[in-house]
Structure formats: structure tokens, C-alpha cells
Amino acid sequence: MDSDEQNISGLLDDQSTLDDRRTSSSLSNQVISGESKETLISKPEIASKWLTAYNDNLCSLYTLTACICFVDLNGDGDQKLVIADLGNGVQGMKLNIYKGTFILSQLTLIDCPSGVVSFYMDSNAPRIPAIGVASGSYLYIYKNLKPFYKFGLPSLEIHPSEQDAWNQLVADKIDASQLKVLLENLRIEVGEASLTARSQRLIDLTDPGVIDDFIGRYKDQPLKRSTIITCIATIKKTVDEDNNLNCLIIGTENKDILIIEPDAFTILTSVQLPSIPVFLEISGLFNVEYRVIVSCRDACIYTIKRGFKTGRLCVQLNSQPVGLVRYNNNIIVGTMDQCLSCFTINGNCVWKINQQSGITCLTAIEVEILGLTLIAVALESRTVVFYNGKSKVDTIETENVITSMKFGRYGREDNTLVMVSRSGSLSIRILKRTAKFTSIESDFGEAGSGSTMKMNIPKKTKLFIDQSVREPIHRAFQQDLYRLRLVVARAYVKAIAASLNPMSSNAVDPLKLSAQVHGLGPVFRLILEIQNTSLDQPSYNLNLFFYCDVKIYRIHRNFIPVPNLQPGYIYTFATKVECVNELNVSDFIKIHVVREGDSTPIITAIINMPSSETPV
């Protein structure tokens, strides 16, 4: 293979230049230690938490955070650093493997890399991981720094009109310019992304000579439409251990996520997304339960769970994301509007911190010895800021704008931060053993003014929730209560109008009538008490009338003339009532107090009679 030769020649080159490199690197080390001493004196913050282990300003690397990874290349615990260099974006793409402070090997890449991962593809005894390089529409697998396998993404369907146009050209029915017009029309119809790479290239060409040359060279080859890998990540397959089998997760330009099993390179799952994935964050195990957090080019974050064929919308961002990190169960995303935001997995914003300048990249810093996970945010203002949750805990000033960085175990050092700057320099920093991350107090004010301050609103209690549920019930109850009161009031008015109440509020004859029923039946004794409640006016010419159902009761004295009623005194009258009904039903008896010669009663008492005993 081509790249194999390249590999060997690269190795030879390395060996010849190794000594030079070593001396130069150690010299640069000296220079740097000298510089750091000076800065230590000049700056008040003496205790930097990071040691500068290596600095190379001349290596001219152009890479992405996704293209840096640490690989235990020989399975001996001595981790190597793999950086895929994008060259100048068109050519000179390389895979650099660093050991310590020098380059161990350099492999040439054919296409622009979009991501590098280290993964275990088999369960063989010396656990040696493979390096996977996503580049163009292929995934190149290296084992022991040798090309091992090239996995091509499945090719996509070609639009029938496009195929037809090219067929016509081959059959000499149309010429190159007609083909170009046909393809241009098709592009307007279906969009550029649905055309093959060959047609896209042809549309871009303008010089007729070049077009003829291009067509002459490619027209007889079969038309193929392939997609491009945009991002890559790994997931543990079954067991959550350091060197266990992995699966690969690939995002493509065709708006889907593929999960690939690296034993035979079969596609296990494919998930369709509404847009093109850019950043991937993985949690869980493939065979148990997993969640993939994807940020896409439509500035939305989607989540994918095991067993789902489509992504679920999680957050719609205001600006394009530049970095995505999973932090505990939250998503931390840096966006182009200088914001660092934290969202829950359900898409609720937890906090948001405005940065002083644009964010270039993000990475998670997992310090195992401290049990901490920090977020490192590289800014355009040549600083790297470290956040523990939402509190700022540390900053590093750098000479250049850091554009990609990765934290992990390098060599035998657990806490190593690798940073590549915009000018292409590589810097390796090691976290001091004695470093403690406490929040920078003085920065709190700034952060407070910049960030959206959260109001101190107490949580909704259970009581509140219960109350809000009860509210409609309460309203219905109130309504019924008013209705009841209305009914009562109406009845009251009616009673007053008919003088059906035992209290007379009449100004002339204020009387009070009460009645008692003695006995068990069938013969009762009815005792009536009448009182004149006025202060000084006696009542005259009053009579008591009894009204009842004659089929049920027989009253001995149906009519009792009432003597002169003096104010304040209680007058007692009595009569016998006999229940004559054989079924012993009970009924009411009405007692009216009537003035002689008047037709409406002054007051009325209604006595609900008790049910009578059966006659012996």
C-alpha cells in the first residue's frame, strides 16, 4: 500500500533527525524554563498549577480537538500522543505520533482527517489498541503503526437524472457543455449535497479545456456518490473497563449517525438526524444503555438513546456551537456568541456565562486524584479558563490563541494537557501534584455581571402544587355555595312574606312561638308557649289555630283563644293530639297565631311530629 511505504520512509526520516530534534527540544526546554522563571518574578500569581513540560513553536501543526488522542500504542501503559495534522487543509496531511517530547513516527494521510480515536478492536491477549483515523469517506485503521484496514462508508443512491445525464454523455448524445447545464439545473432542483462529487467538481470548472480533460479522464468510470465522515467517537461495548472492546460511532455528511462494530466492521445501528452532526459526546455502554449527544450544523443539540432510530431535539442554541462536553449529567456547550452554557439532558438551561472574548475550543479535564472534572475553555484573548461547574478556578495565559486541546494520560503522567495554538505551536503542560482548585474570588463580581443572574425564587413546593390542583374545586364549591345562599334567601323572603316563621318581627305584635311535643304516641301532648317580646305593648284578640292532615291527626282543641298577652311573660297552652292513622306515618302540624278578623297569620310554627308508637 502507498501509505505503508510512506510510513517506513517517515520512520527513516525520523531516525536521522532524531538527535537533532532531541537537542533542539531540550534546548527549547531550557529557554522555556528560563522564561518561566522571569514570568514568575514579574507576576504576582507565583503558584501556577501547571508545569510546562514541553513547548515547540516550530512544529506548525494545524489540527482540531477531535484530531488529538492518547494511545497506549505498545500496551505497556506508556501512552503516546497522536495528533492528526491537517497540513494546509489541501495537502501535507500527516499523523504524528509523539513519545515524550519527540516524534516517534509520522504517517502520511491521503485526505483531510476529521477525527482520531484509539479503540480496542479485538480481545487478544496483549491489549494493543488500534488507531482509527476518519478521513474523507473512509475510516483508516492502524495497528502497531501499520495500516491495517480501510473501512469505506456505504455508498449512497445516485439521483436517476444525474446518472442519465452522464450516460447520455458516454453515449455521445450530449456534449460537455450540455451536461454541465443539465447538472446545474439538477443542482437547483435537488441541492448540491445530493449530487456526486464528480458532478460537483464539473460544475465548479469553468475553463473548457480543463472540462474536456476532466470528462475525458472520468467519464468511463462508474458514478459513485459517497458521504463524508464529519465526526467520530468510541463507546465501550459491554463492560465499562479501561481496555475493553469498543464500538465506533461515526457521524456523516448524510445526516446520520452510524454505530460500527470493529470486529467485522458491520453497521450495528444507524440513526437519522435532521442536520449534519459536528460534535459527539457518548455515555454508557452499547449493549446496555447509551446516550449520544450530538450537536449539529443547524445549531441544535440532539440526543440519541439506545433503540431509537431518530435523534430527539434537546436544545436549540442561539448560536453555532464551537465545543461540546458532557459534564456529569449535563451538557456544556460553548457557542460563537462568547457564551458558555450548561444544559440538562432534557434541554433546560442550568447556567450561562458570558466570556470576555470568543471561545475557540472546549475540553473536559478529569482529574482523578482530586475527583474533579473541570471544563477548560480556550479563548481568543489568549487565555485558557478552567471552570469547576460554573465557578472559575484557574486560568492559563498562553502566547498564542489555543485552537485545540486535550487532557489525559500522556507517557506515565496522568494529568497532561496538550494544547495546539493557531500559529501551530504545541505545548504540553502537566498539572502539579499539589494543585488545588478553589474558585477565584476576585473574578466572582465580573462573572456575576456578565452572566445572567438567577433570581432567588423558592422552589415550587408540594403544597403549592396541591393548592393549584384544589383551586378549580374551590371555585366550584364557592359557586354552589352562592347558589345555596340564594335559594335560602329566596325561601326566607317567601317565609317572611307568608309569615311562616315562629318569630314575628312585626312592629305591632312582636311575638315568639315555640312548641313541644310530649309523649310517644299514638296520643301526644302538644305544649305551646307564646311570648310577647315587645317592651311595653300588650297584644289583644289573638287566637291559635291548628292545621293538620285530618287523616293522620286529630287535635282535641283545634282553636285556642289567647288572652291578653302582657310583654315579657310566657303563656303556655296545651292540647292533645292523637295519631289516627293506622300506618303510623308522621306528618307536620302547622300552628298559626291569628288576630281576630284578620286573614293572614302573624306567626306560624311548623311542628314535625315524631312517628307514633302502635296503639296497644
Partner 1 sequence: MSLFSRLLSYLGLKKKEVNILVVGLDNSGKTTILNNFKKDEDKSQEIVATIGFNVESFHVNNLTFSAFDMSGQGRYRNLWEHYFKGIHAIVFVIDSSDSLRLVVAKDELDLMLKHDEIASKPNLPLLIFANKMDLRDALSSVRISQALGLESLQERPWHIQASNAITGQGLQEGIQWLTEQLINQKK
Q: What is the 3-state secondary structure (H, E, C) of 116-165?
A: EEEECCCCCCCCCCEEEEEECCEEEEEECCEEEEEEECCCECCCHHHHHH
- Cβ pair 82, 134 in contact under 8 A: no
Minimum CB distance to partner 1, residue 19 (Å): 9
| Total site size for partner 1, rule CB under 8 A | 25
Any idea what the Cα angle at residue 527 is, between residues 526 and 529, rounded to 5°? 145
Which listed range, 23-31, 143-151, 167-175, 442-450, lies at the site for partner 1 (CB under 8 A)? Answer: 23-31
Minimum CB distance to partner 1, residue 192 (Å): 46
With CB under 8 A as the contact rule, the residue among 5, 22, 348, 444 that binds partner 1 is 22
Cell 292513622: give the residue: 581
**CA nearest to 427, candidates 160, 195, 83:** 83
3-state secondary structure of 7: helix
The three grid cell numbers given for residue 49, joined into one nine-digit string = 498549577
Residue list 424-453, contact with partner 1 (CB under 8 A):
428, 430, 432-434
Minimum CB distance to partner 1, residue 58 (Å): 17
CB-nearer residue toward partner 1: 369 or 574: 369
Minimum CB distance to partner 1, residue 226 (Å): 40
With CB under 8 A as the contact rule, the residue among 24, 52, 330, 439 that binds partner 1 is 52
Taken in order 200, 204, 208, 214, is the CA torsion positive or negative?
Answer: negative
Residue list 495-524, contact with partner 1 (CB under 8 A):
none
CB-nearer residue toward partner 1: 33 or 316: 33
Minimum CB distance to partner 1, residue 379 (Å): 25
Query: x-or-dash pattern for partner 1, window 31-50, by CB under 8 A?
Result: --x-----------------
Minimum CB distance to partner 1, residue 428 (Å): 7
**CA nearest to 398, candidates 428, 375, 432:** 428
Residue list 359-388, contact with partner 1 (CB under 8 A):
369
Query: x-or-dash pattern for partner 1, window 383-422, by CB under 8 A?
Result: ---------------------------xxxxx--------
- Cβ pair 500, 510 in contact under 8 A: no
CB-nearer residue toward partner 1: 13 or 263: 13
Q: Name the H helices within 426-527.
A: 443-450, 462-497
β-partners of residue 571 are 530
CB-nearer residue toward partner 1: 37 or 518: 37
- Cβ pair 343, 352 in contact under 8 A: no
- Cβ pair 579, 612 in contact under 8 A: yes
Query: x-or-dash pattern for partner 1, window 93-122, by CB under 8 A?
Result: -------xxx--------------------
Minimum CB distance to partner 1, residue 242 (Å): 17
C-alpha distances out from residue 38 to 32, 251, 397, 532, 585, Å: 10, 47, 14, 113, 114
Minimum CB distance to partner 1, residue 328 (Å): 23
Positions in the binding site for partner 1 (CB under 8 A): 18, 22, 25-26, 29-30, 33, 51-54, 100-102, 369, 410-414, 428, 430, 432-434
